Amino acid sequence: MAPEHNKRVTAIYPGSFDPVTNGHLDLIARGAMIFDKLIVAVARNLEKDALFPVKERIEMLEAVTFEWKNVEVDAFDGLLVEFARERGGRVILRGIRAVSDYEYELQMAMMNRKIEPQIETVFMLPGETYSYLSSRLVKELARLGGPVKGLVPPLVEERLRAKVG
C-alpha cells in the first residue's frame, strides 16, 4: 500500500464571499463531507470593489458554518497557493455551476498548478437549485429591492438589508 494512504487531507475553499450565498454553503457542506478539514479562505486583495469589508464577510461565514466542526474560516493576502502551502492544504476546492465557469476555472487551476504542482484543484458541483446563483446577482437584486430570501442565509439577508435596503 502507498505510504500516504491514510494522510489527512485539508482543502482550501477560496473566494470573495461578498457575501456568502446558499450556493457557497451547499459547496461547503459537500466539501466538509469529503475532506478532513476545510478552510474557507476570503481573498483580501479583492477588497476594493467589495460591498462588505473582509472582517464582516468572515463574521458572516463563521456564523453560518458554525455547525461544521471541521470547517474553519480565514483570510489571505497574495497568492492562494502560498496560503494553501502555509496552511498545509493539499487541495483547492472550487465550485463549477455552468459551462461558462469552466474556462476561467481551468485557467486558474492550471496557473495554480504551474506555480505549485503539489496542490490539486478539485471541482465540485453545487446542487442544481444553486446553479444560477452568484454573490454579484444577489447584491444587484438587493440593491434594486428584489427578494433575496432563500438565496442567502437569513443573517446575510439581514446584513444586506441593513447595507443597501
Which residues in this chain contact ligand PNS in the complex, by CB under 6 A?
14-16, 43, 79-80, 108, 111-112
CB of 93 to ligand PNS, least distance (A): 10
> Which residues are catalytically annotated?
24, 48, 97, 135
CB of 47 to ligand PNS, least distance (A): 11
Single-letter amino acid, residue 58: I
3-state secondary structure 93-117: EEECCCHHHHHHHHHHHHHHHHHCC
Cα 146 from Cα 49, distance rounded (Å): 21
Backbone angles phi, psi at 63, to 5 degrees: -65, -40
Nearer to ligand PNS, 33 or 111 (CB): 111
State the residue number with the nearest CB to ligand PNS: 15
Nearer to ligand PNS, 44 or 163 (CB): 44
Nearer to ligand PNS, 15 or 19 (CB): 15
DSSP H helices in 18-134: 22-34, 54-64, 80-86, 99-115
CB of 100 to ligand PNS, least distance (A): 13
Q: Is 57 helix (H, G, I), strand (E, B) or coil?
A: helix
